[in-house]
């Protein structure tokens, strides 16, 4: 079975892995719809993911990435495969759906392992979208299981303190610092009124207290995704932060 046709992926030369599981558009007839859970895609996240990777490649920044082309109402990769939230458990479609679900996670783990093998560390980003229920809600939410998927702390030189002490979470800190220049953010480190639902799903949970990995579920609001000016600001800051992350590899 050719499972690769359900994904877009690429190997990298840097220890950064980018996952985009909820923006797919394909609806194979032989795979039945899920019974429970969210059945709508995270609008525009597939196209935004491709755009971000294209921009990074133009700057000769090669990271690992995988995007699902499967619509979320067929398979939800951010839920455990033995649940009706992830895939339809009917025997006629379960086998192939489970293989597709497994392939996505195997690729993620392979990319992360390759990053650790070469560099000793990995920054994992799981990209999602959400809709703000009211105006005061954050524009961007960082899910990290309240700090439990952030396991790489690096020290800063005394002349280079970032105002948060003498250490930073490699990858996470650069991205947070860049994005909060323009957007209201929730850093995910403590429980708030906003982040419980976005603290990290099945994908991020695979990196719970895992050594050598900083993993985040990055949630950006629909308002950013549908507004060209906001999306441009987000994209520019994302690219700038990844540049900084790679420059700090040898700190």
SS3 label, residue 3: helix
Q: Is the pLDDT confidence value at 159 over 50?
A: no
The residues near 175 (Cβ < 8 Å, ≥ 6 apart) are: 125, 142, 216, 218, 238, 241, 242, 245
Q: In this predicted structure, what is the pLDDT of residue 161?
A: 45
Residue 99: domain span = 3-247
- Residue 33 structure tokens: 């719809």
SS3 label, residue 218: strand
* Range 142-159 average pLDDT: 87
Q: In this predicted structure, what is the pLDDT of residue 250?
A: 67
Work out the mean pLDDT of the chain and round it to a whole number: 93
Q: Is the pLDDT confidence value at 163 over 60?
A: no
**For 108-134, how does the pLDDT look when each residue is reduced to its tens digit (9 = 90+)?**
999 999 999 999 999 999 999 999 999
Q: In this predicted structure, what is the pLDDT of residue 155?
A: 81
Q: Is the pLDDT confidence value at 251 over 80?
A: no
**For 181-235, how does the pLDDT look when each residue is reduced to its tens digit (9 = 90+)?**
999 999 999 999 999 999 999 999 999 999 999 999 999 999 999 999 999 999 9
- pTM metric for this prediction: 0.94
| Chain position carrying tokens 């920054």 | 123
Helix or strand (DSSP H, E) at 222? helix 222-226
Number of domains in the chain: 1
Q: In this predicted structure, what is the pLDDT of residue 37?
A: 81
- CATH code of the domain containing 223: 3.40.630.40
SS3 label, residue 14: coil
* Range 44-52 average pLDDT: 97
- What string of H, E and C letters represents the secondary structure of 137-190? CCCEEEECCCCCCECCEEECCHHHCCCCCCEEECCHHHHHHHHCCCCCEECCCC
């Amino acid at each position: 079975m050719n499972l690769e046709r359900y994904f877009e992926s690429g190997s990298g030369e840097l220890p950064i892995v980018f996952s985009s599981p909820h923006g797919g558009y394909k609806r194979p007839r032989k795979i039945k719809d899920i019974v429970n859970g969210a059945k709508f895609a995270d609008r525009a996240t597939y196209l935004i993911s491709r755009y971000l990777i294209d921009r990074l490649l133009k700057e000769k920044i090669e990271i690992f990435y995988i995007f699902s082309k499967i619509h979320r109402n067929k398979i939800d990769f951010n839920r455990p495969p033995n649940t009706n939230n992830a895939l339809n458990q009917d025997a006629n479609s379960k086998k192939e759906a489970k293989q597709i679900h497994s392939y996505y996670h195997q690729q993620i783990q392979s990319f992360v392992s390759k990053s650790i093998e070469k560099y000793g560390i990995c920054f994992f980003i799981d990209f999602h979208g959400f809709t703000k229920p009211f105006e005061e809600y954050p524009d961007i939410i960082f899910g990290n299981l309240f700090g439990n998927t952030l396991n790489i702390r690096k020290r800063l030189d005394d002349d280079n303190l970032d105002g948060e002490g003498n250490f930073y979470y490699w990858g996470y800190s650069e991205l947070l610092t860049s994005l909060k220049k323009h957007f209201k953010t929730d850093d995910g480190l403590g429980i708030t009124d906003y982040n419980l639902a976005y603290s990290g799903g099945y994908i991020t949970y695979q990196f719970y207290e895992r050594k050598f990995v900083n993993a985040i579920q990055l949630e950006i609001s629909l308002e950013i995704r549908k507004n060209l000016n906001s999306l441009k600001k987000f994209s520019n800051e994302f690219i700038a932060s990844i540049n900084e992350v790679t420059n700090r590899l040898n700190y």
